Amino acid sequence: MVPHLVTALNGPLLDLEKKILAATPAIERWFRMEWQEHTPPFYCSVDLRNSGYKLAPVDTNLFPGGFSNLSPEMLPLAIQAAMAAIEKYCPDAKNLLLLPELNTRNTFYLQNVARLMQIFRQTGLHVRLGTLDESVKEAQTIELPDGSTITLEPMERSANGRRLGLKNFDPCTILLNNDLSSGTPSILENLNEQNVLPPLHAGWTVRRKSNHFMAYDEVVKKFSKLVDVDPWMLNPFFAKVDQVDFDAADGDDKLAAAVSSLLAKIRKKYKEYGITEKPFVIVKADAGTDGMGVMSVTDVSQIKELSRKQREKLSLGKAGGEIHDLIIQEGVHTFEHINDAVAEPVVYMIDRYVVGGFYRVHAERGINENLNAPGAHFVPLAFAQQHALPDMLAKPGTTAPNRFYMYGVVARLGLLAASLEMEKTDPNPEEY
């Protein structure tokens, strides 16, 4: 399934598709060489935006929570990739402990947990679920909408304090599907005899989006030279604004100045490429997920005229944490629609392999708004097995495999950036 584009792919993006397809062997070799130098995150999802003149990642999630939205046809690919990922860390792995988010009332999220368990069981692992909720003292079984069940169990440290497991269950690997927005629980610290994946510094206690996009800048500069394109075609401009105090009298001034400067930079690029759309920026928390604290801005006056409700929205994140550090990111319009609703592709990867994806679709949002919001629904991407085999003879913009190959390439650039980001923020770099 290729979504309907409001304006046909033309101009810069058609040229980009042409160049990426022509450079396919060089691109795949380049990725292979990069993965010899860097370790990919255990798993990852990348939100892309396709504007017809630009294809860029706008968010990279190291604790992806939408595996149940992937097409069932992609499961064999996910299982193969999971095998490769596990073998890197624990070749003789037998037991895997999976730690999900605390919100057990969100059955959509729990179906993602069930799908993850299914994938890892198919790799030959015994998989059980722990919980970081200390109030859970005995096993708790939850029924899912499809009639299946999952069981959460309280965790316990080993006698020597160096391992974490469940009663009568000693895992060699602990897989986090919890982004640690509320901080790093002490029960996960100093586990010297087990792999914790992703590492603790991938959680939002430490991680910052600005660090990720700085690493992405590096990656995209190298890649753009390889395929001979303007890096801007694949890269949203961004700026970081620290210590914003919305309660202070001049709390908005620093933010307004940064927004004004970034909008001017985008206008210059639009003029260069003859783009007639109205530029916009997205203001969001530098740490955190779930689409909270996100605002679309087309004019600096919107910052100076923030209502109390908007200030509250920008200053409160997941788990009620206060937000003071913001990232301002160039907004990328999405010209993709499914059944007249605005859509954006989200690509999923395990280890260094693309294992599928879906469209995030929102009928009540516009082409310049954040779609990761209540009311969104998901449509699996038809990343049929040939997603890695583009059709070299097709005209640019006319075939699904070519579109999805491009999505996969740009998503893997985000994956590589996450790898660099993790290296640079690792508190124990000598262990990397």
Half-sphere exposure of 316 (CA within 13 A, CB side): 8
**How would you write the pLDDT of the chain (432 residues) with one tens digit per residue?**
455 554 445 566 778 888 898 999 999 999 999 999 999 999 999 999 988 889 999 999 999 999 999 988 889 999 999 999 999 988 888 999 999 998 778 888 999 999 999 999 999 999 999 999 888 899 999 999 989 999 999 999 988 888 999 999 999 999 999 999 888 999 999 998 899 999 999 999 999 999 999 999 999 999 999 999 999 999 999 999 988 776 665 667 888 899 999 999 999 999 999 999 999 999 988 887 665 668 889 998 888 777 666 666 666 665 556 777 889 999 999 888 888 888 899 999 999 999 999 999 998 888 888 888 888 888 887 654 444 566 666 666 656 667 888 899 999 999 999 999 999 999 887 654
C-alpha–C-alpha distance, residues 190 and 163, integer Å: 9
* Burial class of residue 321, CB neighbours in 10 A (0-12, 13-18, 19+): middle
List, edge to edge, every strand of the sheet that includes 173-177: 140-143, 149-153, 126-130, 95-100, 173-177, 195-197
> Measured at the alpha carbon of residue 291, what is the angle toward residues 287 and 301, in degrees to the nearest 5?
85
Identify each DSSP E strand in 6-94 by its residue range: 43-50, 55-61
pLDDT at res. 8: 46
pLDDT at res. 386: 46
pLDDT at res. 307: 61
Q: What is the dihedral of CA 326, 329, 331, 337, to 10 degrees?
A: -80
Cα 324 to Cα 47, 215, 280, 329: the distances in Å are 24, 22, 21, 16
pLDDT at res. 201: 95
Instruction: Say what the pTM is.
Output: 0.92
C-alpha–C-alpha distance, residues 70 and 302, integer Å: 38
Phi, psi (degrees; rounded to nearest 5) at 401? -55, -35
pLDDT at res. 242: 87
Identify each DSSP E strand in 308-352 by its residue range: 326-330, 336-338, 341-350
Q: What is the dihedral of CA 283, 284, 286, 288, to 10 degrees?
A: -170
